[in-house]
Amino acid sequence: MQNGDDTGGEVKEPENSTVDDWMGQNIARDEEVADRAMAENDTVEEAEAQFEREADGKETHDEAFPRPDDESELGTDAP
């Protein structure tokens, strides 16, 4: 179905789009950081340290989806 806006198949999100907040995109960015860290460092420990400094997917996700203070509200018996 055409909507009259032929962009050649490219999807263009509006400036206020929240698409950037999708967890899969955060994971993909962190994977790139991990790959680069492994390529740039001699040891796994150095690569892990670089990853911890540069990766932000977990923090971004936690900010967007905070966990409730009381997990019992979710109906789980998580420790």
Is residue 61 in some structural domain?
yes
Q: What is the pLDDT of residues 23-52, one digit of tens each?
A: 777 888 899 999 999 999 999 999 999 999
Give the pLDDT band of residue 1 (cuts 50, 70, 90): very low
Domain total for the chain? 1
Is residue 9 in some structural domain?
no
Q: Please list the alpha-helical segments (H only) found in the chain.
A: 23-40, 44-54, 57-64
- Identify residue 54 by its one-letter amino acid code: E
Is residue 75 in some structural domain?
no
Is residue 4 in some structural domain?
no
| The two three-digit tokens of residue 22, written as one number | 């999708």
Query: What was the pLDDT predicted at 62?
Result: 77
Domain enclosing residue 43, as ranges = 19-66
